[in-house]
Structures are given as C-alpha cells and as structure tokens.
Amino acid sequence: MAPERKLTLRFDWESSRCVSKERAPDKINGMLALQVERESLHSIWTVLTETPKPVLTVQPGPSQIFRGVAVTLTCDIQGEGWTYRWLCGDTEYATTEKEIKITAEHKQICRYQGCRGLDCSEWSDTVTLTVFDKPRVTVKPQSSVFTGDTVTLSCDVGPSTGLRITWYKDFIKIKSGDKTHTLSDVRVSDGGKYGCSVREKNSTTQSQRVTLTVRERPKAVVCVQPDGRVFRRQTVTLTCDIQETDVTSWNYTWNKDDSVIHESQSQEYRISSVNESHTAQSDEINQYAVTEE
C-alpha cells in the first residue's frame, strides 16, 4: 500500500515565489488537499501527492473456485470515510462495506476503487476468478453390480490441486486423502449413497451423491440339447439361463476345460457337426460324450 506523501510549499508574497525544502514532484497524482495558513506575508500550502493504493483479496483463493460457491471479495485501503465501487465482469456494485459476496458461476475479472465524494482512488490490481465444475463422483464398472465384483469410485475435481478429499457413505465419513475409493469383493452391505467433499483452506465443497447397488450374484444354469449322449456330426445347442435377476442384457463367455472358447451377447452356443474333441464336463450338467451313430 502506498503511504500518503505530503509536500509543504511556502509562498512568499513579497517575492511571489514558492519555497520548499524538498523537490516538488514533476506530476501530482490523485486527490489534492489544500491547507492555507496566514503568517504575516506568508501562506503554507500542503499538497497530498499520492492516494492510498487499494488492495483486493479473495476468499477462497481465486485460482480454483468451484461453480456455485460463495466468494468473498475484501478491500484494503488506508484511511476512513470511503465508499467502494466494485467491478466484476460486466456487473458493477456500489457499497459502503469493505467486502461483498458473489456467487461464482463463470470466469470473471474483478477490481475495485475507493471514493470520498467526487474524488476516487486508482483501481486496485485485477483478480481473476477461475471457476471449475463442482466435484463429481464416477463409478466403474457401473453403479449396479453383483456380490464379489470390484468397484472403483473416483472424485473428479478437474485440474484443481492441493485439495483435501474426504469420502462419505450414507453421509458418514469413511476415509480421507485419495481421489479414488476401491471396494473389492463387494457385499450387499457395501451398497449405499457415496459422495466426496474437497477442502481448500477454509472452503469446503460437496459433490452430489451417487447410489451404488449391490445384489447377490445370480446363478447360471446350462442346458444341453440334445442332453447326454450324442452322435458324431450332430448339432448340439447349449443354453445359459440366468436365474433370479431382472437384468435383461448379458454378455456370455463360454468355457471348455477352463479355457474361453466363445463370447457373445447370445445366451445360446451352437456346435455344428460335433466330434470327440467336444466332449466336456460342466459343473451344471452331466458329462456328455460323442459317439458314432
């Protein structure tokens, strides 16, 4: 903040000259205050050559503000009796208070100046409010899973840095620190509403909650047609029936002797012209064998 600087000039009426013990400035900026004292044939002129420099501060810090958060702008200027003129983007405010609160919705450039009557200070340095979307929780692979699956929840805070992240389940704090929260071998009791909060200095922002649903893994039953013993060059159809679930879209993976042999979205797997190499044992069906006709 620039201090007030006073320059005292003595005017000699006899010689019609100004006398000063210090060099007068080439250019006088800001407001002028005039004081005249009559001492014999002399007058004293007191000139205020600089006005205080206004300083603008922002809380929370202007470099990373989440959309919808209340931002406090505070002015600091030497002296009393000021009114304040604020300019943020295209919006102007006039107040008698040293601070104002605005809601951060988009990037803005703010500044202010102090005024006493018709005389105003210079503008403060500008402050840029950089606004990011609020934290968002994402779930992988999806928000509805079966018992035994692994689920990863991520708290997306964009490019913001230096934030403290806290995780909640059903509005109860469960952990702090990491942007991700992994649940392995999930159980039905792991289901619930999950959210995260981010904190920077004295400001905390909450994400929206996402619901994780965990259901018992359904039982898969394999049916073979024709069942049991078949003959070489016959066609065999295997059907996978998923029971006790309302899920209608599945990806099916067929295995033989612990090796993947077919993947599709169809619940049927058809073997044309079977031979001895197709003989297999399944946990869900009896062993079937391929024989000659």
The pLDDT tens digits along the chain (293 residues) read 344 445 555 555 555 555 554 444 433 444 444 444 444 444 444 454 466 789 999 988 777 788 888 899 999 998 888 999 999 988 898 999 999 999 988 889 999 999 988 888 899 999 999 888 889 999 999 999 999 999 999 999 877 777 889 999 999 999 998 899 999 999 999 999 999 999 877 778 899 999 999 999 888 888 888 877 788 888 999 898 887 677 777 888 888 888 888 898 888 989 888 888 877 765 443 333 333 33
User: Are 42 and 60 part of one and the same domain?
Assistant: no
- DSSP for 153-177 reads EEEE-TT--S-EEEEEETTEEEEES
Tell me what pLDDT residue 293 has: 37
User: Are 126 and 59 part of one and the same domain?
Assistant: yes
Tell me what pLDDT residue 9 has: 55
End position of a domain, from candidates 189, 215, 241: 215
Tell me what pLDDT residue 95 has: 92
Range of the structural domain that residue 248 is part of: 220-291
Kindly provide the b/e burial profile for residues 133-172, where b requires at least 16 CB atoms within 10 angstroms of the residue's own CB.
Answer: ebbebebeeebebeeebebebbbebeebeebebbbbbeee
Bridge partners, residue 75, by sequence: 56
Residue 1 included in any domain = no
> What gap in Å lies between CA 135 and CA 183, rounded to an integer?
20
User: Are 179 and 206 part of one and the same domain?
Assistant: yes
End position of a domain, from candidates 132, 162, 190: 132
Tell me what pLDDT residue 23 has: 47
Tell me what pLDDT residue 187 has: 96
Residue 34 included in any domain = yes
Q: By the 8 A CB rule, do 168 and 174 touch? A: yes
User: Are 119 and 185 part of one and the same domain?
Assistant: no
> What gap in Å lies between CA 27 and CA 135, rounded to an integer?
52
User: Are 140 and 209 part of one and the same domain?
Assistant: yes
Kindly provide the b/e burial profile for residues 253-263, where b requires at least 16 CB atoms within 10 angstroms of the residue's own CB.
Answer: eeeeeeeeeee
Tell me what pLDDT residue 151 has: 97
Number of domains, the chain:
4
The enclosing domain of 253 has a CATH number of 2.60.40.10
Which one-letter DSSP state was computed for residue 29? Answer: -
Tell me what pLDDT residue 232 has: 86
User: Are 14 and 68 part of one and the same domain?
Assistant: no
